[in-house]
Structures are given as C-alpha cells and as structure tokens.
Amino acid sequence: MVNKNFAVFIMVHGRPDSMRTYDTLRRQGYTGKIYLVADDLDDTVARYKEIYGDDVIVFDKAEAAKHSDAGDSTGDLRSTLFASNVIFDLAEERGITHFFIMCDDYQNFFYAMSDSTGSVFAKDLNLMFDIMVDYYKEAPIKVLAFAQTGDFIGGVENARGA
C-alpha cells in the first residue's frame, strides 16, 4: 500500500468464525490494516477478540444510537447504521485519513467492465485501493464507494453478477 493512512473497517456481529470479507481481502492481495468493528451487544465479541486480537474495536451501541437518526421510533438497534457512523471517529482516533467501510460477508472483488468483457477478478487489492484513494484525493467529491452486485438488481443492463 502506498497510502499509509488507509484502513478497511469491517462491521461485524455474530459471525466470528465466518469472516468472509477479512479472508477475501487477504486472499485478493490486501496487506494493509483491517479493523473489525463490533458492538457491545454482540455475545460473540470475546470470540472475535480471541481470533483477531487488537484488530477488534468494540463500541457502545446504545450510546452511538443517541447520536444517529435511525429513521424510526422503534428503538430497534439491529442496524449497521450505528457502526458505520462511529467508524469516522474510530478512524480519526487512529490517524486513519482514508478508509473503506465494509460488511462482513463479501466473497470477491471484481473490476466490472462496461463492454462484453464482464467482470474481472481483482488480484491486487492494494493497487485497487491505492488507485481509489488517489482518485478520491484529486476529485471534487466527498464520498467514493464500490458497487455491490446486489446494487444492480433489476433491469436488463444490470444483470451482471459476480
């Protein structure tokens, strides 16, 4: 990784023995920092810590909910909203200036082509992430994201999947 102040934050809950995103990142060449962000209501936090040690960050979900508008009045805390919102503070505390927020179930990363090539398996995520961070630094934008296969549900032109 060229961008040293970069990390991937993976929002986790209840699946410490099935960390698809973590394994996928490593399998596809990402060698940088990965943090697992778990909430304090997760009964499996101890197992996460047993496997991933200091890479696990536990946050107070009820406290995070006080600072987030979940868009409902049920009080239901089953949402990644709270983790995704606290990650900005967690990154700043660690000197991370650029980061990706991911869920814990990504199985592959691909380059999607607009022609008949389809999708190409990404073999060097360090390079992919460096390119994206460099682009973000130069472009007049505030957020840059990957699209997920599920984002393309519906429509003939969006029928490509990984």
Longest dimension (CA), the chain: 48
pLDDT at 82: 79
Res. 7: pLDDT tops 70 = yes
List, for residues 53-106, the tens digit of each pLDDT value. Answer: 999 999 999 888 788 777 777 776 767 777 889 999 999 999 999 999 999 999
Q: Looking up tokens 């990644």, which residue turns up?
A: 80
Phi, psi of 110 (to 5 degrees): -130, 155
First to last CA, the chain: 25
List, for residues 12-58, the tens digit of each pLDDT value. Answer: 999 999 999 999 999 999 999 999 999 999 999 999 999 999 999 99
What's the 3-state SS for 54-119?
Answer: HHEEEECHHHHHHCCCCCCCCCCCCCCHHHHHHHHHHHHHCCCCEEEEECCCCCCCEEECCCCCCE
List, for residues 92-132, the tens digit of each pLDDT value. Answer: 999 999 999 999 999 999 887 666 667 788 999 999 999 99
pLDDT at 96: 96
Q: Looking up tokens 């991370």, which residue turns up?
A: 96
The model's confidence at residue 162, banded by pLDDT at 50, 70 and 90, is very low
State which amino acid sits at residue 113: M
pTM of the model: 0.87
pLDDT at 24: 96
Strand order in the sheet with 98-102: 56-59, 33-39, 6-12, 98-102
pLDDT at 110: 86
98 vs 33: CA distance, rounded Å: 12
Res. 161: pLDDT tops 60 = no
Res. 153: pLDDT tops 90 = no
